[in-house]
């Protein structure tokens, strides 16, 4: 029985990691340093974009600036 669970454990870990990244993508946005535009990126872009030291390589949809930007958590509106 334990041998059957071994292949399932890595799959569960990958699915949970993808869900956590998707949640972070849905609850954060970016601010362009060039034009000041606030924008969100799709989950697929957030998931596949190059990231390092808490920043992600994204492109501003307004001015086209591309660079490493830190995700900013969305404010919760009451």
pLDDT of 23-33, one tens digit each?
A: 999 999 999 99
Taking residues 17-28, report their average pLDDT. Answer: 92
Report whether 4 contacts 14 (CB < 8 A).
Answer: no
SS3 for 44?
helix
Question: 54 lies in which domain range?
Answer: 2-73
- Would residue 44 count as lying in a domain? yes
Instruction: Determine what percent of the chain is predicted with pLDDT higher than 70.
Output: 91
pLDDT band at 77 (very low <50, low <70, confident <90, very high): low
Contact predicate 59/65, CB 8 Å: yes
- How many domains does the chain contain in total? 1
Q: What is the pTM of this model?
A: 0.77
Please indicate, yes or no, if residue 78 is contained in any of the structural domains: no
């Amino acid at each position: 029985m334990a041998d059957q669970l071994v292949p399932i454990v890595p799959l569960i870990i990958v699915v949970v990691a993808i869900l956590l990244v998707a949640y972070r993508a849905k609850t954060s946005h970016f601010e362009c340093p060039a034009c000041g535009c606030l924008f969100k990126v799709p989950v697929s872009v957030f998931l596949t974009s190059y990231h390092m030291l808490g920043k992600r390589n994204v492109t501003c949809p307004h001015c086209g600036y591309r660079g490493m930007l830190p995700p900013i958590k969305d404010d919760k509106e009451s």
